[in-house]
């Protein structure tokens, strides 16, 4: 039985149940205006006689305004029945490892998802304040510049913003790779993406063996606009399910500026009054109510979080756009990807000076605080020095060493699109760099080798963690690493401790 | 003077009511809108017979008789302001009328349609405590494979009067299985 046949049957059943029928009067695809249905309520699901399905998005004296979820044409005069229920999607452990549509079905035709435990409405209310917890656990992204300089916490909402094709998606995927390794449920939401992009992400997860901890919720740009609009809400509903099960969730929304554009399209078609940049008046609200559902929560005495990384595209580095500033004010900070840095060869092209983390620093250990403090101070000095030498000033030894160290730090932060480094390795590497014992040309090589050893060699891992755990702050760590740096370097180079 | 104005108004309302009552079905209402549109687009003296032929062809609908009787301009070929007002008022009433949709298997008789309108008017007046005058238009949807009986749709509500359902409901309500079988 096809989905259309199922919906046709639903239409008949709901007519018999509710004894109400509406008739399609006007169609402005995807908006359909229906006369009748006196009992219809906002966000209620309706079924068309032809097997199409829609959602009530507005009610006025004469018509019920319905957003159609299908690309199939709705006919004028067609009968419509109401379900008496809002849109629900299936959730359960069975979703792990799946690629699903915004309506909760598999993106692969004829594939049935098993392991569904319940159906949840996609428009749930955010948990009240008594269920909220302070954000106090760090979230590792595996990306050195972020973990060291713009740290994130579990439950934080951090906007990832920047021009197109300069590494925003790569960064969020690296974060997923790291978090999935640590056992977090990771949900990647592709809003109006190309189908092959979604497939590539699926293949990336397969390649890294993290499929069992990830879910992809995707809508292609050829999908009905209503599906695209619902995509982030579906993903958030799934995230809430796993949060309620006591698991930490990382939710990527890629990207909300595209979502805003599609919502603008729906609003203009449904004749809502356009405001700034033709966006409707409730554009802030639709994103705020979505992102407010993320956070750090206490569910029946157990703390679990939904960390949300919404992505927003900017044009020519302009972060003062309407949607971008809206999202900045909703989230707890932003990571800015700079096209100038990208052109200069920095990977990831994150501009530290224009990035903000409002709650991430409170989750840091004293050592990470120390690393952050030293690096921030150094980068400020380095930036000032670089600007200074632009004027052709004489380069003395102090300036030269600052510039040299700047190059080394850049090398440390540079990493490939699928490389991820755990925080312990990042700290030890930075300490070695700070001690001046790490040659610039070998930084990349050392990073890779250290991470490999850390993953595979129990002894090395213990050595590194002991070194860090036994130090009360960064200065103590500097002293300890200074004492054993030869051992560490010879191990990295030779492969034995 | 005031008396004369009142009388004119009464005549206009009566004419409106008679023509509207003669329409009854959605098909007729659509035909009326087509015709009135063609008439209102023209100005000055016109050949009514030609307009009617343009719109309907050779076969004229039955409600035309009432329209011609009550809109004097259609007899003379020159539409007065009062005639135009009548046509516009009827169009307005059609737009505001409550549609009663009926699904059934055969083309109903005039008597059936009149009965539907009268019963529905009483029901709706009762539901609204008789506080307003309801205009009804019946839209009959004939489906040859439809079961015996009919389904009515009024104001979004469904009234299922198919014979099969009536029989089943009767059997259930009388507990036939337990009492007789």
What is the tens place of the pLDDT at every residue in A383-407? 999 888 877 767 788 888 999 999 9
Q: Residue B62's pLDDT band (boundaries 50, 70, 90)?
A: confident
How close B158 comes to chain A (CA, Å)?
5
Residues of chain A with C-beta less than 8 angstroms from the C-beta of B160: 19
Question: For position A386, what pLDDT does the model report?
Answer: 87
Q: Which residues does A contribute to its contact with B (CB < 8 Å)?
A: 15, 19-23, 35-39
Statement: residue B131 has pLDDT above 90: no
Which chain A residue shows the shortest CA-CA distance from B97? A62
Look at A21 and B155 and tell me if their CB atoms are within 8 Å.
Answer: no
Question: For position A393, what pLDDT does the model report?
Answer: 66
B99, B101, B158: residue with CB nearest A20: B158
Q: Residue B128's pLDDT band (boundaries 50, 70, 90)?
A: low
Active site residue A358: yes
Burial grade of A44 (CB within 10 A; 0-12, 13-18, 19 or more): buried
| Tokens coding A222 | 């050829």
Q: How would you list the strands of the sheet with B98-104, edge to edge?
A: B136-142, B98-104, B149-154, B157-162
Statement: residue A137 has pLDDT above 80: yes
Question: For position B82, what pLDDT does the model report?
Answer: 87
Question: For position A73, what pLDDT does the model report?
Answer: 84
| Tokens coding A202 | 């699926």
Question: Which of the residues A88, A247, A289, A358 is marked catalytic?
Answer: A358
B80-89's contacts with Cβ under 8 Å and 24+ in sequence apart are B82/B8, B82/B12, B84/B40, B85/B12, B86/B12, B86/B15, B86/B16, B86/B19, B87/B36, B87/B39, B87/B40, B88/B36, B88/B40, B89/B12, B89/B16
Q: Residue B130's pLDDT band (boundaries 50, 70, 90)?
A: low
Q: Residue A80's pLDDT band (boundaries 50, 70, 90)?
A: very high
% of chain A exceeding 70 in pLDDT: 99
Task: Give per-residue pLDDT as tens, A189-209.
Answer: 999 999 999 999 999 999 999
CA distance A193 to A220: 5
Half-sphere exposure (CA, 13 Å, Cβ side) for B177? 4
Question: For position A274, what pLDDT does the model report?
Answer: 95
Question: For position B129, what pLDDT does the model report?
Answer: 52
Question: What are the phi and psi torsion angles at A22 (to 5°)?
Answer: -115, 165
Residue scoring higher pLDDT (A76 or A3):
A76
The end-to-end CA distance of chain A, in Å, is: 63
What three-state secondary structure class fits B157? strand
CA nearest neighbour of B151 among A468, A487, A79, A2: A79
Statement: residue A271 has pLDDT above 50: yes
Task: Give per-residue pLDDT as tens, B65-115.
Answer: 888 888 888 888 888 888 889 999 999 999 989 899 999 999 999 899 999
Mean of the per-residue pLDDT values for chain A? 93
SS3 string, A262-313, reads HHHHHHHHCCCCECHHHCECCHHHHHHHHHCCCEEEEECCEEEEEEEEEEEE
Question: For position A235, what pLDDT does the model report?
Answer: 97
Question: For position A496, what pLDDT does the model report?
Answer: 47
Report the residue of B96, B99, B156 to disrupt the A interface, i.e. the one with the largest count of A CBs within 10 Å. Answer: B156
| Tokens coding A176 | 């997923």
């Amino acid at each position: 039985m096809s989905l259309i046949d199922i919906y046709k049957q639903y239409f008949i059943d709901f007519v018999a149940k509710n004894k109400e029928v509406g008739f399609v009067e006007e169609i402005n695809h995807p908006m359909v205006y229906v006369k009748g249905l006196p009992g219809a309520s906002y966000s209620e699901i309706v079924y068309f006689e032809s097997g199409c399905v829609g959602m009530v998005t507005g009610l006025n004296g004469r018509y019920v305004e319905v957003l159609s979820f299908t690309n199939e044409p709705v006919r004028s005069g067609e009968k419509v029945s109401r379900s008496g229920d809002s849109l629900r999607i299936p959730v359960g452990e069975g979703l792990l490892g799946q690629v699903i549509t915004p309506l909760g079905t598999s993106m692969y035709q004829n594939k049935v998802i098993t392991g569904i435990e319940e159906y949840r409405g996609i428009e749930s209310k955010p948990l009240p304040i008594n269920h909220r917890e302070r954000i106090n656990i760090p979230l590792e992204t595996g990306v050195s510049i972020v973990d060291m300089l713009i740290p994130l916490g579990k439950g934080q909402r951090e906007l990832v913003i920047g021009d197109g094709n300069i590494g925003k998606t790569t960064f969020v995927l690296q974060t997923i790779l790291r978090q999935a390794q640590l056992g977090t449920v990771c949900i990647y939401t592709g809003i109006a993406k190309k189908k092959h992009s979604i497939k590539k992400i699926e293949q990336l997860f397969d390649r890294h063996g993290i499929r069992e901890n990830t879910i992809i919720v995707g809508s292609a740009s050829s999908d009905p606009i209503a599906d695209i609009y619902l995509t982030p809400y579906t993903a958030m509903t799934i995230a809430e399910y796993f949060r309620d099960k006591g698991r930490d969730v990382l939710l990527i929304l890629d990207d909300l500026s595209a979502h805003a554009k599609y919502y603008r399209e729906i609003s203009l078609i449904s004749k809502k009054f356009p405001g700034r940049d033709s966006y409707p008046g409730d554009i802030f609200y639709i994103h705020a109510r979505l992102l407010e559902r993320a956070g750090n929560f206490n569910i029946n005495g157990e703390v679990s979080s939904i960390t949300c990384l919404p992505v927003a595209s900017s044009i020519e580095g302009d972060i003062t756009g309407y949607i971008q500033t809206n999202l900045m004010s909703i989230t707890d900070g932003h990571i800015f990807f700079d096209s100038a840095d990208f052109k200069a060869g920095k990977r990831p092209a994150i501009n530290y000076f224009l990035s903000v983390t409002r709650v991430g620093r409170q989750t840091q250990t004293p050592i990470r605080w120390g690393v952050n403090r030293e690096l921030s101070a150094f980068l400020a000095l380095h930036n000032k020095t670089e600007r200074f030498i632009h004027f052709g000033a004489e380069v003395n030894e102090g300036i030269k060493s600052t510039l040299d160290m700047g190059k080394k730090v850049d090398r440390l932060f540079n990493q490939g699109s699928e490389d991820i480094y755990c925080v312990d390795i990042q700290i030890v590497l930075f300490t070695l760099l700070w001690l001046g014992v790490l040659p610039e040309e070998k930084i990349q090589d050392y990073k890779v080798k250290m991470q490999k050893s850390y993953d595979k060699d129990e002894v090395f891992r213990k050595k590194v963690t002991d070194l860090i755990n036994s130090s009360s702050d960064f200065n103590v760590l500097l002293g300890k690493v200074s004492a054993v740096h030869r051992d560490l370097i010879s191990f990295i180079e030779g492969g034995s401790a | 003077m005031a008396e004369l104005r009142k009388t004119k108004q009464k005549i206009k309302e009566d004419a409106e009511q008679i023509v509207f009552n003669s329409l009854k079905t959605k098909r007729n209402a659509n035909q009326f809108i087509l015709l009135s549109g063609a008439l209102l687009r023209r100005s000055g003296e016109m050949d009514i017979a030609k307009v009617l032929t343009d719109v309907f062809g050779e076969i004229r609908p039955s409600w035309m008789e009432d329209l011609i009787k009550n809109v004097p301009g259609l007899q003379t070929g020159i539409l007065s302001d009062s005639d135009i007002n009548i046509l516009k008022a009827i169009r307005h009433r059609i737009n505001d009328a409550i549609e009663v949709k009926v699904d059934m298997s055969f083309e109903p008789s005039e008597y059936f349609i009149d009965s539907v309108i009268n019963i529905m008017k009483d029901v709706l007046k009762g539901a609204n405590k008789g506080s307003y005058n309801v205009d009804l238009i019946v839209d009959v949807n004939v489906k040859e494979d439809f079961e015996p009986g009919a389904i009515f749709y009024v104001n979004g509500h469904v009234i299922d009067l198919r014979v099969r359902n009536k029989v089943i409901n009767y059997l259930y309500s009388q507990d036939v299985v337990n009492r007789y079988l």
